[in-house]
Amino acid sequence: MATYNTLKIRFLSRASLNQSFTFSFREVGGVRRIPYTIVGQRIRSNQVTKGNDVSGLWVSKETTLNFISAFNADYAALGFKASLTPFYNPLDVYDVLIKAPTEFENPNFISFIDEFGLNPNDGAIEFTLGYEKPLEILKINNIEFVADPSDNCNKIKALVTTNYQATAITSPYNASVNSNPFEVNLFRNSNYVITATNEQTTDSIGISTPPLLDIAAINVNINATPYSNSVNITYNGMIGLQLEFSLDNQEWQTDTTFQGLLTGEFNLYVRDQYGCKKSKTFIIEPSFTKIYTPYFYYSKSNSIRFAYRINFGDAANYKNDENTLSCEADVLLPYMQEQFFQSADVITTQIKSNYSNNRAWVLSNGFEIEVPVVKKTNNLNRTDAREAKIIGLNNQQSGVFFLSGNTYDYTTNQVNGSYSLNGLLPVYGRVGNWVQLDGVYYEIKNVYFDENHNADMLVFDKVYNGPMASIIIKSEFNIEEFEVYEFTIDMVDYINQKIQVKFEATDSNFKDIKMLSEVLDIKVRHIDTLEIIYFNNGNNDVFYETGIRHLLRIPFISVGGKDEQSSENYKTDTTAVVISSEIYETNVFKFEPVSKEIWRKLKIALSSDNVIIDGVGYIKNNDFETEGPLGQTNLYVLTAEMLKTGNVQSNRKSNYNFDSSNIEVPGLVQATSDYLKYN
C-alpha cells in the first residue's frame, strides 16, 4: 500500500460562493472531518474568503492564499501545515500543499466527501495525495575494513555505515548503493576519499587502508643458546595489522616466540586479520650457539714449548712457526732444540679452553703417562636467577634493570637469598650474553644508562606493552669464553730421561686439537745454564692468579758486567757538594744459539714484569740484540742487557753533617743548625 504525507488542493475557476468541500484524516480512534465553505468574508473557522477570479480555468492566487491562512489558523496546532506551491505562474495561479504531521497510507486521507452536492468530477476542486521525503542530512558514521576474498593480500573492502540510507557513492568511484552498511572495493596501503550521497545531501571522509603484509619486514631472531633454541619474531611498520604466526600452517598463535626448537630448517607462516598469509624460511644452525665457537689458547709464556700437530700431507696444511717442532723447521739444517730441566724443577703449564676434554701425557721410554689436568676457574655455564624490573621500549624491544629483591634457585624458582645492586648490572650484563624470561632466551642487544630510572638497562628484542612490572630474569652465562686449566710435571720423576709432553683437547662439537712438546732433557744439574724464573704481576695471556711461575734453563756464552751511573752536584765558589749519586748494576747476557721459537720464548721471559736469573731479580734495560739465523739453520743468538732490581748504590741519606755556617742548597731550606732535613 502506498505511503503519503501530503495533500495538494487545486481550486478551479468554477468554484463559487457557498460551495463546500470536506476531506477527512483518519486518526487513532476515528476520522477527523475537515470541512470548508467558500464565502465572501470569513467570519469563523472552516470558512475561506473567495478572492477575485481571473479569466481562464483557475481560481486566483488570492483565494488560494486565503485558504492557506484559514487552514493554518484552524489546524496548525494539530501539526498540519499548509503552504503555497506554483502551478501556472504566467496566470499567477498556485496550489495549496498540506503536509500531514505523520506519514499515512491511503485512505487515511479521504480525498473528497460530497456533503453539499458539489461533485469533484465537475472539476471545481482537485485533490491529489503525494509524498514529500523529509530532509535527511547524510553522515558517514563508521568505516570497518573487511577481507576481500578475491585478493586478500592486495585488496580490501571498506564497510561503510551511514545514519541514513545512501543511494550512491561518487568517490573513489561511481556506484549505486542499496544497503546500509555498504561495501567499497579498495586496495591496501592506499589513501582514499569516500563520498556518499542520498540525493539530498552528501558526506565525505578520508581514510587510509590497512598496510600490506610485508614478509620482508618480519624478522626472525634466532636465539640459539647452549641450553635451548628459540625464535623471537619482530617486525617494523604494519601498524593496525593483527598478526598470527605458525611453524606448521595449522596451529596459530599471536605470541611472537617459539621455544624448544631443534636445529634445522623451518617455515614461518604469518597471516593477518584480513586473510593474507605469507611465509619465509629460516635455519637454526649449531654455529648460532655460543658454545659451538671453539676456544683454545696456549700462551708462549709457558715454560714448555709446544707445537700443534697437523698432517703436513694435506694440501691445505702448511708448515709455520706454530705447528713445527725445532727439528721440523723448514730450513736446510734444522737444529733439534732440547729444553733443559733439573730434577728439582716442578713445571706447571696453563691453557685456556672451552673443550669438554683436556688431557696431558708424558711420553717416557715408550710409555704414555697421563698427567692430571686441573680446572682452575669456574667461568662457563654459570646460572643466575633474580628479581628485576621490565619496561617496554621503542623498536619492539624491552628493557630490564636491577634495583634490589630476591634471588632464586635457577631450577625450582625457590627464594634462596636477596641482593641489592641499586641500578648496577649483574656480572652477565654484557652485550652478547643471554637472558631467559618465561622460558624464552633473548640475546642482550644493548646496555645503556637510563636516567629516568637511574639504572643501567639491559635491552633485548621482546615486545612488551604493559606497565613497569617485577619479573624473574634468569641467565645461563659465561664469565669468560673459556676455563683455565693447568697440569704440573715434577721432573724428579724423570731424572736422566729425555721426555716429551703430549696434550689433546677434544669435544664432539669441535675439531680436535693436539700438541707435542720439544724434547725435555732432565738431569740433576745442567752445567753452564742459567735458570730464568719469570712471571707478570697481572693477568694477561696467562691467568697469574693461580700462582703459576715459569722457568727456562738456557745455556749461555757469557755474562758481562755493565753499570749505569747518574749523579747531581752543587758547586759554589768555595766548595762542591754531591747532592745525589747512584750506580745501577747491569749484566749483559749472551746466550748460546737456540732455535727460533725458544729464542722468542726467551725474549718473552726476559720482558716479563718479574725476572729472576739464578736467584737475582732483573728487569729489561735496553732492546735485545739478535744474531741470526746462523747460516742455513734455525738458530739465533740473543744478547740481553738486564738491570738488577735490588742492587742500587746511592749516597742518599736522611741526615747530612755540615759546619755551622749558612749553606744554600737548591731544594732545601736554609738553617744555622747542624742538620738539614730534605723534604
Q: Cα separation of 677 and 659, whole Å? A: 15
Residue with cell 693461580: 546
pLDDT in tens, 492-534: 999 999 999 999 999 988 899 999 999 999 999 999 999 999 9
Choose between 566 and 390: higher pLDDT.
Answer: 390
Q: Cα separation of 185 and 163, whole Å? A: 21
Q: Cα separation of 417 and 143, whole Å? A: 56
C-alpha cell at 227: 641450553
First to last CA, the chain: 124
Q: Cα separation of 656 and 674, whole Å? A: 8
* Residue 291 neighbours by CB distance under 10 Å: 20
pLDDT, average across residues 214-223:
89
Residue with cell 636491577: 402
* Residue 314 neighbours by CB distance under 10 Å: 8
Model confidence at 413: pLDDT above 80: yes
Q: Which of 392, 152, 374, 366 is nearest to 276 (CA)?
A: 152
Residues 6+ apart with CB under 8 A from 320: none
pLDDT band for 569, please (50, 70, 90 cuts): confident
User: Average pLDDT, whole number, for the chain?
Assistant: 86
pLDDT, average across residues 419-429:
95
Model confidence at 671: pLDDT above 80: no
Q: Cα separation of 52 and 61, whole Å? A: 9
Q: Cα separation of 10 and 84, whole Å? A: 11
pLDDT in tens, 316-356: 778 899 999 999 998 999 999 999 999 999 999 999 999 99
pLDDT band for 656, please (50, 70, 90 cuts): very low
Q: Which of 487, 509, 486 is nearest to 356 (CA)?
A: 509
Residues in the chain: 679
pLDDT in tens, 96-131: 888 877 655 444 444 433 333 334 444 566 777 777
Residue with cell 476542486: 125
Please tell me the pTM assigned to this model. 0.57
pLDDT, average across residues 621-649:
91
Of the listed ranges 458-467, 554-563, 574-583, 585-594, the least confidently predicted one is 574-583
pLDDT in tens, 374-387: 999 999 888 999 99
* Residue 356 neighbours by CB distance under 10 Å: 12
pLDDT, average across residues 396-404:
95
Using an 8 Å Cβ cutoff, are 196 and 205 in contact? no
Question: What pLDDT sits at residue 260?
Answer: 82
Q: Cα separation of 442 and 408, whole Å? A: 19
Question: What pLDDT sits at residue 500?
Answer: 97
Element containing residue 211 per DSSP (H, E): none
Q: Cα separation of 349 and 542, whole Å? A: 10
Element containing residue 349 per DSSP (H, E): strand 346-353
Residues 6+ apart with CB under 8 A from 81: 72, 98, 99
Question: What pLDDT sits at residue 227?
Answer: 63
What DSSP designation does 12 have?
A: B
Model confidence at 209: pLDDT above 50: yes
Model confidence at 30: pLDDT above 70: no
pLDDT in tens, 258-317: 888 888 899 999 999 999 999 999 998 765 545 458 899 999 999 999 999 988 776 677
Q: Cα separation of 65 and 86, whole Å? A: 12
Question: What pLDDT sits at residue 292?
Answer: 58
Residue with cell 705447528: 323
* Residue 12 neighbours by CB distance under 10 Å: 15
* SS3 (DSSP) at 195: strand
pLDDT in tens, 457-487: 999 988 898 999 999 999 988 888 899 999 9
Question: What pLDDT sits at residue 120?
Answer: 46
Q: Cα separation of 39 and 557, whole Å? A: 156
pLDDT in tens, 53-70: 655 555 567 778 888 899
Residues 6+ apart with CB under 8 A from 540: none
Using an 8 Å Cβ cutoff, are 278 and 238 in contact? no
Q: Cα separation of 448 and 154, whole Å? A: 41
3-state SS of the chain: helix, strand, coil percent to 5?
Answer: 10, 50, 40
